[in-house]
Structure 1
Amino acid sequence: MSGMETRRLQLLVELARLGSMRAVAESVNTTTSTVSQQLSVLAREMGATLIEPDGRRVRLTPAGRRLAEHAAVILAAVETARLDLAPGAEPNGTLRVAGFATAIRAHLLPLVTDLAASHPRLHVLVREHEPAEALELLAADATDLALTYDYNLAPAAPDPAVHATALWTAPWGLGVPACADVPDAADTPELFARFRTQDWIVNSRNTADETAIRTLASMAGFTPRITHQADSLDLVQGMITAGLGVGLLPIGTPVFPGVRLMPLTGPQVVQRAYAVARHGRLAWPPLTLITDLLARRSATTAPDSS
């Protein structure tokens, strides 16, 4: 309902309460003729006679009284919605979040547990998606918040339609077979060069790590043979243990007995996490609350894996 229609309903409610056009005009700081014109427009829109003469005054017809009752309920709902959505309002409702596994497991889920007690009227709907998938949902208005990542060697392209809040950063290393003969002090190009004949394992649902691998391999003077794809980091480690290849893994993640995690230095591979929302939604209290809480948590908590 447009602002003008809402105002016309307000005039009708005021007429039912005050009983005269002049009193209504004084209460809303306008003229009697304006009140009369707006009520006439409302009557035409509704296809019903809303007021009738009553001596030198007017009174509501039965249809007018009935519409005034509906109008009071409608206006109350509009005001409730305004207060609910206004910046600074108590967050409530359903916030839809699409994000990658680490962000959900290590950062979002602990907040959901706390919010159940502190904001019981706020409900978080969680969907696990890689960044490209989450951003597509955001563009289609199928989610309210996207938790995404990129790498310093494969930065995400800027999108003027969204606002990204930087969260945490996490260094990544190269997962290799535990039996591999690799010196601990090898820099990144030297380390990559030692596995130039190996197959490489990349994410099946995101191309950022493949871009980073190709960039570093190019610095080491070769083109990597990328063959295997896996979304689960546990599966990546299983593939490494089985001798299928090597792949990127986050530093600090618990490694399988058959895996050795080598730090990457000169250059590093750094994963960067973001909370992404569409412009125009940033002042919505649930979105503001969750984004702020994620940023605060990111400043004090290091992620364990991706």
Structure 2
Amino acid sequence: MDLRRLHLLLELSRLGTMRAVADVHGTTTSGVSQQLASLAEEVGARLIEPDGRRVRLTPAGLRLADHAVTILAAVDAARRDLDPDSVPSGTLRVGGFETAIRASLLPAVERLSTTHELIRVELSEYEPLEAFELLESDDLDLALTYDYNTAPLPPSALLESMRLWTIPWGLGVPSSDPTGPVRLLDYAEHRWIVNSRNTADEEVIRGLCALEGFSPNVVHRIDSLDLVEHMIGKGYGVGLLPLHRSTSDAIRISEFASSHDVLMTVYALTRKGRSNWPPLKAMVGALRAVATQDVL
């Protein structure tokens, strides 16, 4: 259905005469008549009928004019929504892992609430592999993911990424253990804690331990870093934690004695071609500001 013709029909319902519609659109009455005749052919119904020396809308024409109000308003809203220069508005579906939600997403959402009040953000917690799948199926608009320098996790060709921040990781051990950089070989007989929904940290641990000549005894699989910390303090095992994380007195996070640094990098991911959508562009800007000011 031709939207211009639909607009002419709506104008006729409001202005009452072909002449008035023609004057508004800078055309002739015969031009308006031809366009409305084509619209009637498109929809398969008679839309106008003679009314003395004028015309009026038929019942079908009146119903279509009513629909035209909603249709044209929806089209205008869609154009404004997709215009990269329009005021950002709408619902933004964002996913991320717990640390990124705390450190980046929540501060960014708070920032947006004061600068872009028309954006509504829906937050969900996902590990990277889950987020990749949801982005590819268009069930998320933006996701925060991570990988390690020793276990890279490149996204698919459908996605594009932006680096936000990088932090070093160390080994969380009970505070009663000797201080100083840790030798992994000293923990060859310990139980190990890894993530339950992402294999990246387990790959890092197994790779580092292999360099020391042993295979770690992975026993526990836990997502929450708070719970990992708690379990380390209670003697359930050791595991990777951010090196500069504030912890309880029960544990300590130590650098590795080897020269193999463990660095985790956090990324913001979107589907390719979506970065100019105003709400997404605003969120990425807020994430950049948070990463620059509050994380790094």
Q: TM-score, normalised by structure 2?
A: 0.86
Q: CA RMSD in A?
A: 2.9
Matched ranges for 1:49-64 at <5 A: 49-52=46-49, 60-64=57-61
Sequence identity percentage: 49
> Does 2:292 correspond to 1:302?
no
Pick aligned residue for 1:145 from 134, 142, 150: 142
**Contact 1:21–1:32 (CA under 8 A) maintained in structure 2:** no
Compared CA separation, residues 173 and 96, structure 1 to 2 (3 A): same
Deviations 1:26-74 (A, max 9, x none): 94779967972x5344324433201345789865434324423432442
Deviations 1:137-183 (A, max 9, x none): 2223222111111111111133111111111111100111222236x
Pick aligned residue for 2:211 from 215, 219, 242: 219
Pick aligned residue for 1:176 from 173, 193, 198: 173
**Paired residue secondary structure (1:156):** coil
- In structure 2, the residue matched to 1:274 is 267
Deviations 1:194-216 (A, max 9, x none): 21222211011111100111111
- In structure 1, the residue matched to 2:284 is 291
**Contact 1:24–1:35 (CA under 8 A) maintained in structure 2:** no
Residue 249 (structure 1) shift: 0.4
Structure 2 counterpart of 1:121, one-letter code: L
- In structure 1, the residue matched to 2:108 is 111
> Does 2:62 correspond to 1:70?
no
Compared CA separation, residues 32 and 161, structure 1 to 2 (3 A): farther
Structure 2 counterpart of 1:115, one-letter code: L
Pick aligned residue for 1:242 from 212, 231, 234: 234
Compared CA separation, residues 197 and 42, structure 1 to 2 (3 A): same
**Contact 1:15–1:24 (CA under 8 A) maintained in structure 2:** no
Matched ranges for 1:1-40 at <5 A: 4-14=1-11, 17=15, 19-20=17-18, 24=22, 27=25, 36=34, 39-40=36-37
Deviations 1:257-301 (A, max 9, x none): 221211136221111111111123222111110111101211222
Alpha-carbon distance in 2 for matches of 1:52, 1:240: 83
Alpha-carbon distance in 2 for matches of 1:116, 1:293: 11
**Paired residue secondary structure (2:103):** helix
Q: TM-score, normalised by structure 1?
A: 0.84
**Contact 1:148–1:273 (CA under 8 A) maintained in structure 2:** yes
**Contact 2:174–2:252 (CA under 8 A) maintained in structure 1:** yes
**Contact 1:203–1:209 (CA under 8 A) maintained in structure 2:** yes
Alpha-carbon distance in 1 for matches of 2:76, 2:209: 60
List gaps (5 residues or longer) in structure 1.
Answer: none
Compared CA separation, residues 154 and 5, structure 1 to 2 (3 A): same
**Contact 1:25–1:32 (CA under 8 A) maintained in structure 2:** no
**Paired residue secondary structure (1:102):** helix
Deviations 1:105-143 (A, max 9, x none): 122212323333332222111112221222222223222
Matched ranges for 1:250-265 at <5 A: 250-264=242-256
> Does 2:195 correspond to 1:203?
yes
Structure 2 counterpart of 1:229, one-letter code: R
**Contact 2:22–2:32 (CA under 8 A) maintained in structure 1:** no
- In structure 1, the residue matched to 2:118 is 121
List gaps (5 residues or longer) in structure 2.
Answer: none
> Does 2:88 correspond to 1:91?
yes
